[in-house]
Amino acid sequence: MERQVSYRLVRCLGEGGMGTVYEAIQTGAYEFSKRVAIKLIRSKIAAREEFIRNFVGEAKLVAQLIHANIVQTYHLGSYRDAPFIVMEYLDGMDLQQFQHILAAREKYVPVPLAVFIASRVCRGLAYAHGKTDANGMPLGIVHRDISPSNIVISREGDVKITDFGLAKAGNLMLDGEGKVVMGKSRYMSPEQAKGEATDARSDIFSLGVVLSEMLVGVNIFQGADSSEEKLRVVEMEIPDLRTLRKDLDPALSRILKRVLSRDPAKRYPNAGDLLVALERHIYSDGYGPTSETLGKYMKKHFEHRLPDAGRSGETRMIEMK
């Protein structure tokens, strides 16, 4: 009889509003073994139908998003009557960890690498925003939680978007717009902070906040609490980032000014257009950073902070149904 696929949890990678993500070892027939990431729905919300629907909706949505800059979903399973998602495992760290380590060393993210990271996120967003269903109808995907903790950088320099748990997309998810404000307040777009309808341009604003944070070392909307941060997103005058980082290129400053426009109509109309602007900026002289460049930077500056591929872990098993 063929051996049933199972998973051994190795370590916790992080917790979000919907679930906990673990590094795991998938095992199968003929001594098959593969490292994966598993997202388990949090026990406190596992009994609530709306959360189950969104958790399952995330898996079904991301399963359709096959792109180099989006973490892949492999399987949706069930464990003790609760769903779990099996995903691509990236040997690396999220952008939040990346920035914290540099900040502790009093370093900025190098400008070319910051723009390169943002451009890879743009590639993933352009693909997701333009995704259609089997009948060619737009899915209307908006991630709604573009932030450093949801951008992963691998040891090899690959950049990928993860955690579509707060996304809105057709009828797959309960989007809650107009009733519930979802996302991390300091990375929200103004329309998102006000509970208004969002579209792809909302993710563009959020990515602008992420890029500005990489460049100047601080989140420009950071406040004492989420209420203050939402107010700042909606009302605070957007600073000229060159006052915060003197060596910032004026052309890049102009790109950011447009990205961070409070009026969505004044932003780049789509992630593809922003991608063109960012890539023109970093490759204007015919040469610029690549995944290999970022990978070398990761290995040089973060090697001792990257996970050990040989680490043994917990013995907790999940039998896939």
Domains of the chain, each with CATH number or no CATH: 6-89 (3.30.200.20), 92-301 (1.10.510.10)
Give the rounded percent of residues in the chain with a pLDDT score beyond 70: 88
pLDDT of amino acid 312: 47
> Coil, helix or strand for 19?
strand
Length of the chain: 321
Assess contact for 198 and 139: CB atoms under 8 A: no
| Cα three-residue angle 290-291-295, rounded to 5 degrees | 120
CA distance 172 to 166: 11
Computed on alpha carbons and rounded to an integer, the radius of gyration of the chain in Å comes to 20
User: SS3 for 178?
Assistant: coil
Would you state the pLDDT for residue 1? Answer: 45
With H, G, I as helix, E, B as strand and everything else as coil, classify residue 222.
Answer: coil
Nearest to 293 by CA among 134, 116, 104: 116
How does DSSP classify residue 321?
-
CA proximity to 174, closest of 85, 50, 48:
50
Active-site residue numbers? 145
- With H, G, I as helix, E, B as strand and everything else as coil, classify residue 309: coil
Q: Sign (positive/negative) of CA torsion 149, 10, 74, 19?
A: negative
Distance CA 62, CA 146 (A): 15
pLDDT of residue 194: 93
Closest CA to 102 of 33, 148, 67: 148
Q: Which residues contact 161 (CB under 8 A, 6 or more apart)?
A: 69, 70, 71, 121, 124, 125, 128, 143, 146, 150, 151, 152
Q: What is the pLDDT of residue 309?
A: 47
- What's the pLDDT at 274? 98
Task: Count Cα neighbours of 267 within 13 Å in the Cβ-side half-sphere.
Answer: 27
Question: Which portions of the chain are predicted below pLDDT 70?
Answer: 1-3, 17, 44-47, 170-181, 305-321
Q: ∠ at Cα 186 (214, 298), nearest 5°?
A: 25
